[in-house]
Chains A and B, each alone.
Chain A
Amino acid sequence: DTGVSQNPRHKITKRGQNVTFRCDPISEHNRLYWYRQTLGQGPEFLTYFQNEAQLEKSRLLSDRFSAERPKGSFSTLEIQRTEQGDSAMYLCASSPGQGGNQPQHFGDGTRLSIL
């Protein structure tokens, strides 16, 4: 169990550019979640996958955001035409199944800064 891995750890980009983050979940975890955390706030849910199927998307996930999980393994989160308000920590988590008592295991996040 190597834990949830996120890359890059930090991303600095200019407004209007596209960025992509990667998340590698704990192996054999079939659920994968994305959250966004802004300074001084708790994480907010963005979307989650059961294997390769994207089952739920938050209203926070505008048309500029897209997430994929091809083959049900790693996942990518892409933000197009970044805006100042996209600056945040993007957290990925995974869990082993559908049971509500299964805790989500978090990665260390990708911190995005928009210049």
Chain B
Amino acid sequence: AQSVTQLGSHVSVSEGALVLLRCNYSSSVPPYLFWYVQYPNQGLQLLLKYTTGATLVKGINGFEAEFKKSETSFHLTKPSAHMSDAAEYFCAVRGSAGGTSYGKLTFGQGTILTVHP
């Protein structure tokens, strides 16, 4: 079974500062990894995904994430935070083909990002 741990339920940064949201996963096979963002009373919007190939993945709104197999991590970063980045962020892992969890996403607990002016 897959699992995801997001370190830090709340992260607060100043506008213009670096954003770093941490995600560690557990998977017995090469995972597919995703970051989603959720604004209040809305569904989840895909920020970026890692499947195979390049380990540094670029997404929308200036976000990127790096897949590090040796650390089983997929941390999300953005060089300069904007007020509009304030939201809740979820890391998710998808089961591999042939496994019982293939298809469904397993999510972390989420990290609420606050951006101060």
Contacts and interface: CB of A to CB of B under 8 A. Distances in A.
Contacts, number: 69
B interface, how many residues as a size bin? 20 to 34
A91 B44 contact: yes
Interface residues of A, number: 28
A43 B90 contact: yes
A103 interface: yes
Given A43-B44, A106-B44, A100 B109 contact: no
Interface string B69-107: 000000000000000000000101011110010111111
Contacts of A98: 97, 103
Nearest to B50: A101
Contacts of A103: 34, 46, 49
A44 B90 CA distance: 12
A105 B109 contact: no
B43 A91 contact: yes
Interface string A65-95: 0000000000000000000000000010100
B109 A41 contact: yes
Contact of B96 (A4, A45, A93, A100): A100
Contacts of B52: 101
Given A93-B44, A98-B97, 17 more contacts: A33-B103, A40-B110, A41-B109, A42-B107, A42-B110, A45-B104, A56-B103, A58-B104, A100-B95, A101-B32, A101-B49, A101-B51, A103-B46, A105-B46, A106-B45, A109-B42, A111-B41
Interface of B: 4, 9, 32, 34, 36, 41-46, 49, 51-52, 90, 92, 94-97, 100, 102-110
